[in-house]
């Protein structure tokens, strides 16, 4: 099954089946939630697109490395805050 001396779980990871299965289950779950919570995922999709554009502009400007890191963390923090606030307002953090 795998390399001699490896456990079944480690062997499973060595055969590179884990990422595909994790991706597939995450995608399926996201698609189900996207249909059920369109009023959350719609604005979130726009915010993520805007964040990506802002991150590209920041990279294109080529600020000092410390400022680049600070700006990218600020963009990510803003997106996370927006996402969490949308999910909290929709009461969507839990079982369907």
Domain range annotation of the chain: 1-36, 38-96
- CB-based burial label for 41 (10 Å; 0-12, 13-18, 19+): buried
Asked whether the whole model's pTM tops 0.85, one would answer: no
Taking only the tens place, the pLDDT of each residue in 54-71 is 999 999 999 999 999 999
Taking only the tens place, the pLDDT of each residue in 6-36 is 445 444 444 555 555 555 555 556 667 777 7
pLDDT at position 47 over 80: yes
């Amino acid at each position: 099954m795998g390399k001699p001396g490896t456990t079944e779980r480690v062997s499973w990871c060595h055969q590179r089946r884990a990422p595909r299965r994790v991706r597939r289950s995450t995608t399926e779950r996201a698609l189900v939630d996207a249909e059920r919570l369109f009023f959350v995922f719609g604005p979130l999709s726009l915010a993520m697109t805007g964040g990506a554009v802002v991150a590209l502009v920041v990279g294109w400007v080529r600020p000092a490395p410390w400022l680049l890191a600070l700006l990218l963390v600020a963009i990510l923090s803003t997106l996370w805050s927006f996402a969490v606030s949308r999910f909290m307002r929709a009461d969507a953090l839990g079982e369907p």
